[in-house]
Amino acid sequence: MKKWFIPIAAVALLLLIIAWMAGAFRDKIEPGLSELGHGGQENAVAVLREDVVITESVPAGIGARQATTISSRTLARIEQLTVRAGDLVVKGQLLIALERSDLESRLEQSSEQVNSIEARLREARQNLQRAEELYEKQLVAAAMLDQARANHDSLLADLASARQAVKEAETALSYSEIRSPIDGRVVERFAEPGDTATPGDKLLSLYNPGSMRIEGAVREGLALSLELGQELGIEIPSTGTLTTALIEELVPAADPGSRSFMVRASIDYTGQLLPGMYARMLVPAGTRSVLLVPEDRVLSYGQLDLVWVNGEAGVERRFIRTGRALRPGMREVISGLAEGEWILPPGED
């Protein structure tokens, strides 16, 4: 008996495992249909057919209307750079300080030159006055009076030139302090303290965040129907933003290569918008008739969309194919539904 007990026990255990895997020890559900959990006919929504504006997606970019590059107007060494990329600045704020010792010396020399000419002019004015008095008494010749007047007038001209040199030196000295021309944000700085600033070389680049706009090349078939002030839909894929912009500029000449027109539209600034970001202009391209269904009546399983239809045979689940959200809360139905059918809220399986 001991010899047969172990094989019999193993077979019995194997049969129990097979029965357990087959569900013999679990509750069974009787076959049949159960009612889906819907709120009734009063919660049904009809599938609508509407004429909607169709848009064409046009690749575009985000830029700033107010963008500037800062450079020096004089050759000098950079002593101080007060900002870095990303810093916010206000109009008139000091951005770059250049070496100014040479410019200050030039201004001082010009000022001393003015003082020297003014002293000589006072002497010449006195000499001219004495020459006029002596000439009236016929004690000097007219040539002496003419010489005194010429000397006086020459010094007047020299004084005007020297004063102009002072203004030029003051202006050159003001170039040693480079201030922000706009309220904005620093994009990048191209130099560091100790570098030599050369006229025309880039030192900083700025843009005004409050002047953001969308720029895109629209094909001529669509661009010719656009107008200034018209509202366009804007999609920014990186942030998932769908907003609007107003056309502020239509370039009145097409690009010969692409046969497209540059369209610029102003957009409200948000902290997520940065120059150079990719965007899409949704340009109107006519109208077409589409079926619409509320988005909250569609249940998505991966790439499959499911709705509950209240038909003549009762409630049925139906897979449909949907398109884009053409307006808030409503989604386009490409196939699977017909106009006038009633859609119930999603049920519970």
| 178-234 pLDDT per residue, tens | 999 999 999 999 999 999 999 988 999 999 988 889 999 999 988 988 999 999 989
* DSSP one-letter string for 241-274: EEEEEEEEEE-SS-BTTTTEEEEEEE----TT--
Classify domain 41-52+290-344 by CATH architecture. Beta Barrel (2.40)
* Residues in CB range of 196: below 8 A, 6 or more apart: 75, 76, 77, 78
Domain boundaries, the chain: 41-52+290-344, 55-66+208-286, 68-205
User: Radius of gyration over alpha carbons of the chain, in Å?
Assistant: 42
Q: Which residue has the higher pLDDT, 77 or 42?
A: 77
Answer yes or no: same fold for 41-52+290-344 and 55-66+208-286. no
Contact at 8 Å (CB) between 116 and 161? no
Report the share of the chain in percent with pLDDT over 90: 28
Contact at 8 Å (CB) between 282 and 263? no
Q: Which amino acid is at 242?
A: L
**Least confident stretch, 85-89, 271-275, 333-337, 344-348:** 344-348
Cα dihedral 295, 300, 302, 303, rounded to 10, equals -60
How many other CB atoms are found less than 10 A from the CB of residue 328?
Answer: 7
What is the residue whose two structure tokens read 């040479």?
A: 102
Instruction: Give residue 46's pLDDT.
Output: 86
Instruction: Give all strands of the β-sheet with 76-81 in edge-to-edge order.
Output: 177-179, 94-98, 76-81, 196-197
CATH code that applies to domain 68-205: 2.40.50.100
- Indicate whether 154 pLDDT > 80: yes
Contact at 8 Å (CB) between 254 and 295? no
* Packing angle, helices 101-136 and 142-174, rounded to 10: 160
Say how many Å lie between the first and final Cα of the chain, rounded.
54
What does DSSP say about strands 184-189 and 202-207: parallel, antiparallel, or unpaired? antiparallel
pLDDT of 99-129, one tens digit each?
Answer: 988 888 888 888 898 899 888 888 888 888 8
Cβ-in-10-Å burial (0-12, 13-18, 19+) of 36 comes to middle
φ, ψ (nearest 5 deg) of residue 76? -160, 160
**What is the chain's mean pLDDT, rounded?**
85
Cα(188)–Cα(193) distance, integer angstroms: 15
* Residues in CB range of 283: below 8 A, 6 or more apart: 55, 56, 57, 58, 218, 222, 226, 232, 263
Instruction: Give residue 324's pLDDT.
Output: 76
DSSP designation for 13: H
Cα(153)–Cα(161) distance, integer angstroms: 13
Instruction: Give residue 279's pLDDT.
Output: 93
Instruction: Please check whether the domain covering 55-66+208-286 is classified as CATH 2.40.10.10.
Output: no
